[in-house]
Amino acid sequence: GGGNNVYDEELAERLGRAEGNGLSAYILMQRILSPTHRAHVLRNGECSEADTLSELGIYGIYLSDNGREIINRCSGALVRTKLASSNEGGVTAGYSCLSTPYLT
């Protein structure tokens, strides 16, 4: 996320305009529709309740030298929560916030 995701009709329109190597600028992925939950959101000093969804990001490290694997392991994770109506998810872009998972 962060302003570069396109979906549905907008995606079809952009791909229709792309020519030649322009298609290589896109990565097509199946969209995951997460369940939503109500949460309190604090924005610009005001608290409100909204439909949100949370996304889990798993990060990894991969390092190789001439095809020889040196490191290949998980390096961390984070959970971000955003408004369910948002197509973006970037924390630094202001679309979401970092969250702490509640494990049950």
C-alpha 52, offset from chain centre:
14
- Please answer whether residues 1 and 90 qualify as being in contact, where contact means their C-beta atoms are separated by less than 8 angstroms: yes
Strand partners, 54: 81
The one-character DSSP state at 32 is: P
Percent of the chain with pLDDT over 70: 97
Task: Between 65 and 32, name the one with better pLDDT.
Answer: 65
Please give the pLDDT value at position 73: 97
Mean local confidence (pLDDT), 46-72: 94
pLDDT digits (tens, 9 = 90+) for 4-53: 778 888 888 888 888 777 788 788 888 888 899 999 988 888 899 999 99
- Whole-Å CA distances, 1 to 5, 42, 91: 6, 20, 8
State the average pLDDT for the chain. Answer: 86
At a CB cut-off of 8 Å and minimum separation 6, what does 62 contact? 69, 71, 72
Total number of residues shown for the chain: 104
